[in-house]
Structure formats: structure tokens, C-alpha cells
Amino acid sequence: MATEDHGHVPVMRDRMAELLAPAVEAFGDTAVIVDGTLGAGGHTEHFLEVFPNVRVIGVDRDPQALAIALNRLARFGDRFSSVQARFDRITEPIAAGVGPAFDAVRESGVAGALFDLGVSSMQLDQEERGFAYKVDAPLDMRMDPTTEVTAADILNTYSHGDIARILKTYGDERFAGKIASAVVKEREREPFSRSARLVELLYNTIPAASRRTGGHPAKRTFQALRVEVNRELEAVENAVPVITEMLGVGGRAVFMSYQSLEDKIVKSAFAELTTSKTPPGLPMDLPGTAPKFAAITHSAEKAPEAEIERNPRAAPVRVRGIEKLASTNDNQTEGQ
């Protein structure tokens, strides 16, 4: 299967298509899906196969991912277009894009959008990128290699307090302060450059009793460093208002989160968008206070057990989606 050949099994692939299908049908020949986290192109390939009239604009900050996806999706011709950008910075490149997909967005707005957050399986498999803790590699972790700060830079230059804060906030690491102290002490002897040395430090710092539970002792630290390097939570916070503004009426946006901090951001933003601003107790919404979006998922959806068995990466995913409603003010539509 193509997705397996590319080292990436799209999580909840069929369900993502189901959630976007009503919007694709409503937009007809002008339907454009924005895949904000293109990766190896697994979700996009499925959308292009199951929706014969849809066009997809794939977004990724990683030039290696874009090159792989472009090759994989070449058979779809101009039904697929790509943009290299962080997914919260897509407004300008899409507005200035050339081709039928970009023309359709300018005409009708975005029909559907998918954000499959976090690091992709493809990136984890590229050992030289430094995302994985099970192999010795440079401490890089940049999704966009043109950005400046690497994981090594964080370990070698951040203060004890900042390192501890990152590990605790982004990795939920119980021993954040203890690890930060060990890092500061060890970098005085020699700066950090490769992952194996960091993993060894973590084994020596985290108590043995704690190492025996909760998975690999380096998992939380590596996650925290990756989130900081790529400013991932900042991007998620910015992406919700960016993509909801780009949706046409009836357009849908779906976010797939793999850690609680991401899901908390999406949950809070969606709650704000789908809640009436009319004071409690009134029989109807006051002008301008009706919600502009409606939820299309009941709370956060999880992957079914059968899929988790086939694809363990699906285990932590939480899915939330919303749909843009028609404006009730002056019969004007929004986002078009």
C-alpha cells in the first residue's frame, strides 16, 4: 500500500474523509481541502482518491516532506498544490498562490482543512533529524532546517530555570528540575551535540523505580525539546483563527492532537467559536452574538481499538472538528 511504502500510515484516514465529506459535497467543483500538516502526503492522497472533484493544497514547513509528497502525488496533476510554510502562516502564500486550487479558495473560501499535529512517522524515521531517542543522532529536531535554534542550542544555552520549565510544561516531566541541573553541570564539561549522550544523562538522572514505568525515560524530554524548537504550541494557537477565517460558509476544520496541551488549546478555541455571546436567560441570540461555528464532533473522538492495533500511533489521538455557519447579519456570508 502506498502509505506503508512511504513509511507513514495516516491515523484515522477514513474518519477524516467522513468528517470533511459534507463540506466537499456542498462546495462541489470549487471544493479545496487544505492539508496543513502534509508530511508524506498520506491523508492528502486519500482525499484525492475518494473525492474525485476535490483539490488539495498541502502545507508543510519541512522541505524534505514536501519533496517526498510532491513525488508521491504527481499523478494527480494540478489537483494537488503545495506551500512551504508553518501551518499558522498560510494566509499570504495561499492568497498569492497561482493555480486552480488557489483561485477556488479566493472564490469560495476553503471547504475543508486538516491539521494532524505533532511529529510525523516519516520524520521519526529520518535518524539524522534527531527526533528519535532510540538512535544516536545530532540533537537537531528542527522541522524547518532554515530556522536557527536546535535542541542542542537549548541544552547548551538556556538557563536552568528555562530548561526545567520546558521539560515540565511541554513534557510533563516529574524530574524536570533534577534533569535541568544535570544538563547545566554536564554542559560545562562539554557542550551537548548528540542524542545518545542526552539519553545516557536521563538514565543516570531519573530514579530507577521511575524508569521502569511510563515508557522510555527519554520520551518526555525529547517531546519537550521538539515542541520548544519548533514553537509547536504557538503554531496551534495561531492556526485556529487563521484557518477558521479562511473557511467558506459550510467549510469544516478538523484538528488531530496527540498530547494534552495541543488538545487543550484546540478545545478552548473551539468552545469560544461555538458558544453564543448572548447573556444567559434570553430566549434568543441578540444580533451579532450568535455562534459563527458549530461542532461536528461530540467532545474529542478517539481512534477505535481495531485501528490502534493496526497503527499504535493512533492510540493517543484526540479529534475535534467545527463547521462554519452562515452569517445571520445582513444576509452576508463570511470568509469568502
Positions at the binding site for S-adenosyl-L-methionine: 41-43, 60, 87, 116, 123
| 3-class SS of residue 14 | helix
CA distance 57 to 110: 10
For residue 6, the SS3 value is coil
Q: Which residues are annotated as a binding site?
A: 41-43, 60, 87, 116, 123
CA 44 from centroid of its chain's CA atoms: 14
Q: Is the dihedral of CA 249, 19, 239, 86 positive or negative?
A: negative
Distance from C-alpha of 35 to C-alpha of 57, rounded to nearest angstrom? 6
C-alpha cell at 294: 458549530
* Beta carbons of 262 and 269 less than 8 angstroms apart: no
Q: Which residues of 253-262 are buried (b: 16+ CB within 10 A; e: fewer)?
A: bbbbbbbeeb
**What are the φ/ψ torsions at residue 235 (nearest 5 degrees)?**
-65, -40
- Which residues have CB under 8 Å from 122's CB, separation 6+? 6, 7, 8, 39, 40, 65, 68
